[in-house]
Chains A and B, each alone.
Chain A
């Protein structure tokens, strides 16, 4: 009798143990799933936040450079001023007026972020800012800027048009 009873308890114990084990496994599985979903959710949240940040940056860039095409076209007008002025003698009474109109145009464009690329004869040629359009023989060290042919312009630090320069090369003997 006693033995039988003992047996029963053992069996019972085993059953509840099995139950316990299944529920632990179940809990483990659910826990894993929870972590997975939580992770996925956090990632999705983070993705959105990051996307928003990038989008803001993109919009800022877009706003900054949305005028680029217009500004680039206006550079031709500035060139024409330069070319026109070059044909007028210093003494020409009309010269000052045209210079002022040019300055007016440039001033407006500067307000929208345009800068004139600083180039000078004698400095080393830098393709990041200048475009070489030809070579001239000179006594200056080869590879330096020998002549500035066209002004270069940048918009918010980005080159819209490089300065056009001629590069010095060794004089042939």
Chain B
């Protein structure tokens, strides 16, 4: 089935994603990046460029490098917004015959649709190359405040690029979809979208699987770029004060500073202080000059506080202003808050939003990609991926088998997709053990007694042999209907036994939740128990080995060593059943040290291998 591409066609950058195996996947472009600059150009050598390549030559070709098309698409030339943007956009534009906007690129006039189509075309080609299949359909997102004409124009851009546009989706709705918020019964959601160059607020109302935009607000000329500019200006100013050199006049130095500022800004999202270190930034008569300054998170926040405050004020207006200007509701009536846009990684913004609504905002998905992810989710719904995929069940709880010391040894971990099958070989715990009990349990606790027993059976007829020698192969198999079959087979005799458990996955939801909750509650005490059992098992194994070694050595062993080993064995036995894992471990290591003496003595007596083959520890003596 051909895929539908989800596209976030942004003002400065665009991103794309598809559904794959029921999960959204963000696609990288040809240059290997997850976002693509929404820039198109006709280069000086008359080549048409789109994306990063167009951006790379923008400085020397400003008149023929077209960006921010989203600000013009579907608008009338007489629109005040267009007049405002015309004043700072470096390329030529004029009124088209139909009253719209036309842009000059190279020696031809283009409509904003045609320009946007070139960006979309690049995304299409890159997605096709990445996926190795043709892509003909797309879901494209637009801001919630876009009117019919802007939506139609965006749709046209998609069609020009060769897509069948299945849906024009609101960006905030896409963000809510990405977080699965559309499944709630009835909720009010605020989407706070702080991008590179624009700031959008949307108030959504979800009900019966529909998402309705109740109010929108924001500032089309406020974004993360303003933050960068503030920091750069501040640092350049400080440097001028310190060194008396104005680096903002030096293009190359300024470029280095801007890049360092972007890095520093990102770093201050996790660190509280960072250092901007730019050696040889410039020079004067006295020789080279360096730039070394510390920037703290507190200083950064101080520099941009008014921008954050402005965004918070805009949220308040959008939510509380009376209809139709705003949503006409109280802030406390908002159920969910979603953060979109790279700038929302800044802790101060997250804090401010949290404080305003008194609740934790959704921010788990990469904020640069969340809209594209949501577009892909919508695409998945349209292509039937999300609903119609073959629903494979998972095992809700871990299925285990009881082993020495009542430990629940997991065979099939929880959340494993069924049908599945796991095989493991076990052995006996005692000498001459002729039967094993297979005890099957379900749950997350490490001790079998704390989990739910599903079944037990006994496999007997194992030929008598020392512990650890018999091989019992245990198979856990769950078919597509959730029926668990456990079989055990003695590999020596081929004797087998099995049991079928019908209801292994048919626990009630409450029961599953209870078992999971209990596992979480008891995690630390269970861990202690597990450590203790492990220590006990180790003690038992070593006692067994020690007794055997003493017996095997017989007369060859000097009486004093024999006596001290036996003492240590008694020491281990004495504490083995106690509840203190530390003391068991201590005694075990004492015994283990003593035990080595047996080996040493036997070697010295010449019963060991040739000298050259002696163990490392021997040779050093």
Contact = CB atoms under 8 A, between A and B. Distances in A.
A84 interface: yes
A133 B252 contact: yes
A167 B60 CA distance: 7
A132 B59 contact: yes
B43 interface: yes
A132 B62 CA distance: 11
Interface in B1-41: 21, 31-32
B43 A127 contact: yes
A122 interface: no
Interface size class of A (residues with CB under 8 A): 20 to 34
Contacts of B287: 87
Contacts of B32: 65, 158
Given A87-B287, A133-B252, A142 B44 contact: yes
Interface string A129-148: 01111110000001100000
A37 B382 CA distance: 25
A132 B255 contact: no
Contacts of A149: 252
B280 interface: yes
A133 B31 contact: no
B498 interface: no
B49 interface: yes
A127 B251 contact: no
Nearest to A157: B32
Contacts of A87: 280, 283, 287-288
Interface string A74-113: 0000011001101100000000000000000000000000
A80 B279 contact: yes
A51 B287 CA distance: 59
B61 interface: yes
B56 interface: yes
Nearest to B279: A80
Given A83-B280, A124-B45, A158-B31, A134 B56 contact: no
Q: Is the interface of B mostly helix, strand, loop or mixed?
A: mixed
A48 to B, nearest CB: 11
A125 interface: yes
A127 B49 contact: yes
Contact of B56 (A79, A83, A143, A162): A162
Contacts of B57: 125, 127, 131-132
Contacts of B43: 127
Most buried by B among A51, A127, A134, A169: A127
Contact of B251 (A51, A80, A84, A133): A133
Given A125-B44, A159-B31, A132 B279 contact: no
A123 to B, nearest CB: 12
Contacts of B255: 133, 164
A119 to B, nearest CB: 13
Contacts of A1: none
A166 B45 CA distance: 16
Most buried by A among B56, B255, B280, B287: B56
A80 B56 contact: no
B54 interface: yes
A132 B252 contact: no
B44 A127 contact: no
A69 B244 CA distance: 34
Given A87-B287, A143-B44, A132 B56 contact: yes
B280 to A, nearest CB: 4
Most buried by B among A131, A158, A159: A131
B245 to A, nearest CB: 15
Contacts of A63: none
Contacts of A70: none
A149 B60 CA distance: 14
Given A83-B279, A149-B252, A132 B53 contact: no
A51 B53 CA distance: 32
B265 to A, nearest CB: 15
Contacts of B61: 132
Contacts of A127: 43, 49, 53-54, 56-57
B251 A134 contact: yes
A131 B56 contact: yes
Contacts of B279: 80, 83-84
A164 B58 CA distance: 13
A86 B59 CA distance: 25
Nearest to A44: B390
A46 to B, nearest CB: 13
Most buried by B among A84, A125, A158: A125
B20 to A, nearest CB: 9
Interface in B220-273: 251-252, 255-256
A45 to B, nearest CB: 13
Contacts of A128: 53
A132 B56 CA distance: 6
B358 to A, nearest CB: 36
Contacts of B45: 124-125, 143
A135 B280 contact: no
Contact of A135 (B21, B58, B60, B256): B60
Interface string A36-71: 000000000000000100000000000001000000
A66 B189 CA distance: 37
Contacts of B53: 127-128
Contacts of A143: 44-45
Nearest to A143: B44
Interface in B281-312: 283, 287-288
A132 B58 CA distance: 7
B47 to A, nearest CB: 8
A24 B487 CA distance: 39
Contacts of B251: 133-134
B288 A84 contact: yes
B282 to A, nearest CB: 10
Interface in B164-213: none
Interface of B: 21, 31-32, 43-45, 49, 53-54, 56-61, 251-252, 255-256, 278-280, 283, 287-288
Given A86-B280, A132-B60, A158-B32, 17 more contacts: A51-B21, A65-B32, A79-B256, A83-B279, A84-B288, A87-B287, A125-B57, A127-B56, A127-B57, A128-B53, A130-B56, A132-B59, A133-B251, A134-B60, A142-B44, A167-B44, A167-B60
23 contacts: A51-B21, A79-B256, A80-B278, A83-B280, A83-B288, A86-B280, A87-B280, A87-B287, A124-B45, A125-B45, A125-B57, A125-B60, A127-B54, A127-B56, A131-B57, A132-B57, A132-B59, A133-B59, A134-B251, A142-B44, A143-B45, A158-B32, A159-B31
Top 4 closest pairs, chain A to chain B, by CB: A83-B280, A132-B60, A127-B53, A131-B56
